Amino acid sequence: MSLPTTDSPALSAELRARTAAAHDSAEHSPYMTALVGGRVTGIGLAALLGRLAPVYAALERLGDAWSAHPVVGDFVLPELRRSERLADDLRHLTGCDEVALSPASVAYAARIEEVGRTSAPAFLAHHYTRYLGDLSGGQVIRAALERSLGLTDGAGASFFAFPDVRPGALKKRYRELLDEVPFDAWQREELVAEALVAYRLNVALATELDRDLARWTTA
């Protein structure tokens, strides 16, 4: 395994470059394409949000544990928290509070709990993969859903909204924080490797949704 040298690129640039192909695979599944295209129904949206609920519960539980860490704590921002919004959206879309767990979502949450509890690079890998993705695509997805489902005041799609921040500015600040992280070569490699695992878990979750695509989408 080749490790970064002292002349390595900025961590944010390295992470983005080395996970680009995996990111594209996760982003361009049939379900995600339908979501961005405004063809996912309310029950189809609930199917996604229900799968994400245990993932964010695990992330935010561990985020609370890491919040006092001198490095990782800087990334645990209250503006990023999604669990409460997920619960509100699911209640709006389904009329109930219970989440039907799926094998892919259980495996994803379990992986976060397994590696993110004791490893700062591993926790940060999952944090980066989810929250940077939300900041990047959330506004586009929310607009598509509001048009296609007739949602008003963000109800049902508030998960994708960041009303208290400017997403572009927060993404920039997040990447600046990454570039300030004093990880050594091994820790950088662990971060990249676990981010690739996170993208594979996202692909598995999307694949689950793809199997029932006709059920979740309009023609």
**Domain limits of the chain?**
11-208
pLDDT digits (tens, 9 = 90+) for 144-194: 898 899 887 778 999 999 988 899 999 999 999 999 999 999 999 999 999
Reported pTM:
0.93
Could you give the CA distance from residue 218 to residue 154 in angstroms, rounded to a whole number? Answer: 21
Q: Looking at residue 153, what is its pLDDT? A: 73
Judge contact between 39 and 208, C-beta under 8 A: no
Q: Mean pLDDT for each 10-residue chunk of the chain (219 residues)?
A: 60 96 91 94 95 97 97 96 96 86 96 98 98 88 88 86 90 96 97 98 96 92
Residue 24, classed as helix, strand or coil, is helix
Could you give the CA distance from residue 136 to residue 168 in angstroms, rounded to a whole number? Answer: 8
Q: Looking at residue 139, what is its pLDDT? A: 79
11-208 carries CATH number 1.20.910.10: yes
Cα–Cα distances in Å, from 17 out to 13, 45, 46, 165, 174? 6, 30, 32, 26, 16
> 22: which residues sit within 8 A by CB, 6+ positions away?
195, 196, 199, 200, 203
Q: Looking at residue 7, what is its pLDDT? A: 66
Q: Looking at residue 202, what is its pLDDT? A: 96
Alpha helices in the chain, H assignment, sequence order: 11-18, 20-27, 30-36, 42-66, 83-94, 103-116, 120-149, 167-180, 185-211, 213-216
Q: Looking at residue 1, what is its pLDDT? A: 40
Q: Looking at residue 114, what is its pLDDT? A: 98
> 93: which residues sit within 8 A by CB, 6+ positions away?
42, 43, 45, 46, 49, 156
